[in-house]
Structure 1
Amino acid sequence: MTTSGTSGLLRKLEDIARASFLELFFDVVFVFALRALAQQLFNNLTWSGAFQALVLLQAIGWVWSLTARVTGALNPRRPPVQVLVLATMVGALVLSAAVPEAFGKTGLIFAVTYLAIQIGRSLFLVVLLRGQELQHVAARGAIWHAATAVPWLAGAVASGTARTALWTLAVVLIYVERRFSYPLPGLGRLAGAQLPAGGEYLADRYRALFVIGLGEVVLAIGSSLTSRGFSTEQTVAFVVAFVVTALIWRVYIFRAGEDMGPAIQASANPDRLGTLVSDAHLVMIAGLVVTSVGAQLVIDDPFGHPRAAATVTILGGTALFLAGRTLLQYLVFGSVSRSRVLGLIALACLVPPMLLLPPLVNALASATVLTGIVIADNIRVRRHPAPISPPGPHRPSKT
């Protein structure tokens, strides 16, 4: 049932092809968000700092993901939808600005802003979508986000380990609501109504998110070169860091990165597969954030004294990306390339010797592993050309 006030709010399926200018404008904010996350990690390069960055990334990623689902369902030309997205942008900017000190003096700002975005969006949609089936989705979202307010706010007024533990609980609750489709006592899981979007549309949005992550790495490389100057050492480090970034792009786009749209569309449960693909991209984005920090370390001091933190960061960023990319391949094709598994094993084996070597050598090791994967991909594509039929999840494939 549709009321006259909501007529034209929903996109028609045939109109869901590519992101609108409004959505691309919204994406710009997340370049700043990932830059802030990288800076937070760079300033606190410890295991606890890495875990805190992961918690913040989960929250920021969920803001982006839900907004992408909403704009995929609603007509971006309608003024109420534009107001909603622009308001979310303002909130996301404030959220991002609070990231570097989120586990310090700006914790309350981060928590309140996050809750204002999530609860405010849901309540706005409850009013906007009156008479629409999707109103029930928004209502359940509002309830679940309100439930997470307890650990978010309690953590914001706590400090140290207590804040980390409470915000981790909040992130776990977010995962539960996603995994089990907004369950409520006595009502069970949400059935039927979802935020519909075409498979290619979702794939296009995830690719856009990945490009944002690549943009953060490029920004880190350029900023580090600017601050350090064009000495021979820094220039060589700059070239190596950029080669690593280009290789990451190449590994990402090979087949699964291009074919996830048809896979989502062909799935028996597109909404669930879309969520899992989103999780795989979040792992890859985490890898890109770590890679950007590694690039800064390499360019700042290419032949500096070996440090365990630098080695784990430089090799770990590549490993995180490969782990997410391997998961994406499994979700799209139902198989995993041997070269990617061997790449992950090689990176793990390289950690001990790289602990004794300077950052630039660590970066060259990452580039070598990625180059091997790209070469293996090229050999495999010659032997096994891409199938004509669209891919589907869990379909055996050598890609």
Structure 2
Amino acid sequence: MAAGRGAALLRAEASSGRATFLELFFDLAFVVALTRVSQRFADVSDETGWALVGGLGRTLLLFLALWLIWSQTTWITSRYEPERSIIQAVVIGTMFAALVMAVTLPRAVEERAVPFTVAYLMVMVVRPLVVAAALRGHPRRLVPFRLAAWSALSAPLWLVGALGPDRLRLSLWAAALAVDYLAWALGWPLPRLGAAAVGRWRITGEHLAERHQQIFLIALGESILVIGAAFGGVDYSAERAAAFGIAFITSAVLWRIYFHRAGRLLNEALGRAGLPGQLGTASERTHALIVLSVLVTAVGYELVIAQPFGPPRPTWLLFVVGGPVLFLLARIRLDYEIFGRVPRSRVIGLVVLLLVTTALARWSPMVGLSVVAGVLALIALVDALRSRQRPLEDLASPIARETPGNREPEA
């Protein structure tokens, strides 16, 4: 009977693959969080040497902690029925914790380390125990127990990092986050129980794909917010107006490149995958890179709009060029995940950006942003021309193929 009540939490085959209004409400906390991440990147843009490396490292660590919260919540709502009251309570509680993390994020590695850590651990340790209790006697309760056990293992590193000397915080948190990500990659193995076969989980693939598309749009929306705030916060000039326009065009082209074929067919690919959990895991990692690339690119917009023809600053190329380069790398990976091929247009565009980076270091920020926008626009144009000449490719993911040898029951 207990297992039967716990089974009511699992997503039924007839369950809608669309994201619920609650999940869209949940994403509002990450609108704030991603904006804070972008601000932290912008704060270190004028640094050089080890100060720059340290600032980027701290911001990347905070982003990865937030991403772990968002992505695991997405897996919960893809695996369990989001209309159930207990799952809704879990999502709302996670949203509050994410909002606390977002509010503390600007100084999370400094004086606000304790509330940031407590909010993170409440999600990572307490949330899976709540889900396990709701599943009662169902066999799937072992998965959240595994997650809670591994999170409890890394919790001392988080707490000592937050409460201990400032000089040790970054290294302790990096070690703790490495444990959390490694545990997920390995399936949270425990003695006698083994590991959870994440790649064989039964999930609603269409739902997971839609959530990945939505987080990309949220990141892109954050870049639009940065463009508007940057242009509205400085004195008007024709040069800044031009930078504002080019920044907007760049964001629009990023949207076009993402949703061309692979991005648009992500729902269908995950829906038809023999092992949607396996493809979903790969897609989650790819979208972490895509979201990060958009945030980094948005910092470049802010820098260029503020001083479009200012003196050349090579470190700014990390944002003006580095963001789009990372985006193309991730987008190439997404093409491979969906079609099992690497598109030449993106590879050529990536090589061009890498080759011109050294030359752009001698030119004003406006020139760098214009070149990046031009290269991305050419990629989008090539995509559009090829779409007119040939039909959509058949899905041929090399990741999610199910064979008789790997049809084993999930953990």
TM-score (norm 1): 0.93
Q: Deviations over 1:222-267 (max 9, x none)?
A: 1111111432122111101001100100000011101122323443
- Aligned position for 2:36: 36
Secondary structure of the 2:14 match is helix
Moved more, 374-383 or 96-105: 374-383
Question: Cα distance 1:309–1:193, how it changes in 2: closer, same or farther (>3 A)?
Answer: closer
Q: Which structure 2 residues correspond to residues 64-213 of structure 1 after superposition, within 5 A?
A: 64-159=70-165, 162-191=168-197, 196-213=202-219
Q: How many residues are paired up?
A: 394
The answer (yes or no) to whether the contact 2:131–2:141 under 8 Å persists in 1 is yes
Between the aligned partners of 1:174 and 1:264, the Cα distance in structure 2 is 25
Q: Choose which of 389, 392, 399 in structure 1 pairs with 2:397.
A: 392
CA contact (8 A) 2:101 2:115 kept: yes
* 1:319 corresponding residue in structure 2: 325
The aligned residue for residue 68 of structure 2 is 62
Q: Secondary structure at the match of 1:13?
A: coil
Q: Secondary structure at the match of 1:336?
A: coil
Asked if the contact 2:294–2:323 (Cα under 8 Å) also holds between the matched residues in 1, the reply is yes
Q: Deviations 1:11-39 (Å, cap 9, x if unpaired)?
A: 21221310010111101111101001011
Aligned residue type for 2:76: V
Asked if residue 381 in structure 1 is aligned to residue 387 in structure 2, the reply is yes
- One of 222, 240, 243 as aligned partner of 2:228: 222
User: Aligned pair in 2 of structure 1 residues 201, 391: CA closer, same or farther (>3 Å)?
Assistant: farther
Aligned residue for 1:224, secondary structure, equals helix
Letter in 2 for 1:9: L
Q: Which amino acid aligns with 1:393?
A: P
Q: 1:65 to 1:194 in 2, by over 3 A?
A: farther
- Tell me the distance in 2 between the aligned counterparts of 1:197 and 1:310: 42
Q: Secondary structure at the match of 1:257?
A: coil
Using the alignment, how far apart are the partners of 2:57 and 2:258 within structure 1?
Answer: 25
Q: 1:192 to 1:202 in 2, by over 3 A?
A: closer
Q: Select 1:250's aligned residue among 220, 236, 256.
A: 256
CA contact (8 A) 1:140 1:182 kept: yes
Counterpart-to-counterpart distance in 1, 2:81 and 2:194: 30
Residue aligned with 1:258, SS: coil
Q: How far apart are 1:48 and its partner, in Å?
A: 2.0
- The answer (yes or no) to whether the contact 2:79–2:204 under 8 Å persists in 1 is no
Question: Deviation string for 1:147-174 (max 9, x for gaps)?
Answer: 1112222222345553222222222212
Q: Is the 8 A contact 1:312 1:351 kept in 2?
A: no
2:55 maps to 49
Structure 2 alignment gaps of length 5 or more: 46-51, 401-411
Taking only aligned residues, the RMSD between alpha carbons, in angstroms, comes to 2.0
193 and 233 in structure 1: CA distance in 2 versus 1, 3 angstrom threshold: closer
1-structure distance, mates of 2:396, 2:2 = 35
2:340 pairs with 1:334: yes
